[in-house]
A = this chain, B = another copy of it.
């Protein structure tokens, strides 16, 4: 199909999963495959070797897929990034798109999709998992809200983000106040402001949001 080899990076912390991806992608004729089992190594390989396409897991030790994407978006690279994830969280998808991702696949429906995605992004296109498209479609009424949500999260200040991080670690106001050398009232006020920005109310809502969207902070 191509007179030259396609070079590929597969980054995932599960060896068995990498084996599955590798075997699937070897259906493509003439591929050269690199592997990374953790985020920093993946980033280094992309920066040093600049493979044509990189298939990267969203959640990895070292650096997450989004963090890698963020670094590469700043510095620029010729490598096309495809993100692979278990998580059906549409927010990650929007986040990734804004960081210039070329493909986004859900692990659950990604055998033939994966081959397609690599071909497509290598020839300059973009590829999104049908399952994810369906999810976005089914949430189409909420699409507007989702964009607003991302905007809301981006509107959080650094102190507010820090508090969200600590909340996602099940810290109480009291513990957070101690950790940050602040008054409990300060933390309470920050929480109130965050709840306003994210339009959340109820006892658990902030902690739930912090935990379910851990990677956004």
Contact = CB atoms under 8 A, between A and B. Distances in A.
B170 A110 contact: no
A134 interface: no
A2 interface: no
Nearest to A173: B203
B20 A108 contact: no
Contacts of A18: 20
A159 B14 CA distance: 38
Contact of A17 (B13, B16, B172): B16
Contact of A15 (B111, B170, B202, B208): B111
A97 to B, nearest CB: 22
Contact of A204 (B19, B86, B111, B172): B172
B204 A15 contact: no
A25 to B, nearest CB: 10
Interface in A13-45: 13-21, 23-24
A191 to B, nearest CB: 14
A119 interface: no
A86 B203 contact: no
A17 to B, nearest CB: 5
A98 to B, nearest CB: 26
Interface in A118-171: 170
A190 interface: no
B16 A24 contact: yes
A107 interface: yes
B207 A107 contact: no
B17 A107 contact: yes
Interface of A: 13-21, 23-24, 84, 86, 107-111, 114, 170, 172, 202-204, 207-208, 211
20 contacts: A14-B20, A14-B107, A15-B20, A15-B109, A15-B111, A16-B20, A16-B21, A16-B24, A16-B84, A16-B107, A16-B110, A16-B111, A16-B114, A17-B17, A19-B20, A20-B20, A170-B204, A170-B208, A172-B202, A172-B203
